[in-house]
Amino acid sequence: MAYQTSLRERSTLDELMNRLTARIAVLQQPDARQKLNALLDAKGALTKRPNAGATY
């Protein structure tokens, strides 16, 4: 039982590490600073209107 819990925890930690590694890789791309600055400069303004209507 303890062995299964340990394997499950290890699997969960491995998945979290993979996600973190992927996020760090995105932040290390050459255009990451430019994209982040554009996001912050937008101050929440959308480039197009959201889709919402009678069916939403």
Tens-digit pLDDT profile for residues 8-52: 999 999 999 999 999 999 999 999 999 999 989 998 887 788 788
The whole-angstrom separation of Cα 51 and Cα 39 is 20
- Rg (the chain; Cα; Å): 20
The whole-angstrom separation of Cα 5 and Cα 40 is 42
Task: Give the domain ranges of the chain.
Answer: 2-42
According to DSSP H, which parts of the chain are helical? 2-27, 32-42
The whole-angstrom separation of Cα 22 and Cα 29 is 11
CA 39 from chain centre, in angstroms, equals 15
Q: Looking at the whole model, is its pTM more than 0.85?
A: no
Note the pLDDT of residue 47: 79
Note the pLDDT of residue 54: 74
